[in-house]
Amino acid sequence: MKIPFTKMHGLGNNYIYIDLFHTELPEDKLSELAVKMSNQNTGIGSDGMILIHPAETADVGMRIFNKDGSEGMNCGNGLRCTAKYAYETGIVRKSEFTIQTKANIVQAIVKKNREQEVEEVTIDMGEPILQREQIPMLGEAGTTVIDEPFPVADTTLQVTAVSMGNPHVITVVDAIDEAPLTTLGPIIEKDERFPEGVNTEFIEIVSDEEIHFRVWERGSGVTEACGTGACAAVVAATLNDKVTKGKKIVVHLAGGDLLIEWKEDGHIWMTGGAETIASGIFNA
């Protein structure tokens, strides 16, 4: 089976994109295909696979598969790349349009250059979910998880949990380069207190308008960037009185910067770039 693909990245968080407006794939092979394509030795190499497809209640739909074959609910960097692809290929012909994920429907706004290429995308990521059972995280229903002690391995972290349609747990550290990303990240990801797994983020507060950020992504491991994680990080920093709600916060990820704003109406807006790496045919 020959599958046309486009590989794109948002701040280094790279996925293989398949256009289901023009290609058909068997549903029962999607997870297997994501694993094969994501393999850097025998496939294309990526953080996962994203399907761009027709949607009944939005202008375009998006499904996310991690490199381990598991299906994700939401992906901020994937949303920006999907918006760029949809606009530049003519799937949509307007600068503002909607994208449906398994988590929700979001609004996308593309900024173009003179050649009509998309160089920046802003996404309304909606409102964060803070109720413990909706993240989901075990514990007393109806409560929130803000600066809560979290014993793990041989230490105790102070964590804040947020869902952006997918689960995140955030810890503030003094120095981002010393964060236990690769040691605690894989342990926390599969901790039984998170029934569906969790994305693990460590952040360093630089100022009231600036945050350093690193992530261990559920199903993918260390990645260069995580858009939903950057949004969750700003929410966590705000709830812990480290930054001010309503300000535009620059989040420094390993792959580059995102601009995140948690507005007074509760919605979180994310702005950043999206880049096309290559296109080709994959022999499945």
| Residues designated as active site | 75, 226
Q: Which helix (H) or strand (E) holds 230?
A: helix 227-239
Q: For residues 275 and 255, what is the distance between their CA atoms, to the nearest angstrom?
A: 12
Beta bridge partners, 113, equal: none
Among 105, 104, 108, which residue's Cα sits nearest to residue 123? 108
Are 201 and 161 contacting, i.e. CB atoms less than 8 angstroms apart? no
Q: For residues 169 and 276, what is the distance between their CA atoms, to the nearest angstrom?
A: 30
Unique residue bearing structure tokens 């045919």: 281
Beta bridge partners, 203, equal: 172, 213
Q: Which helix (H) or strand (E) holds 235?
A: helix 227-239
User: What distances in angstroms separate CA 1 from CA 65, 71, 113, 147, one per listed residue?
Assistant: 19, 22, 36, 50
On the 0-12 / 13-18 / 19+ scale of CB atoms within 10 A, 98 is: middle
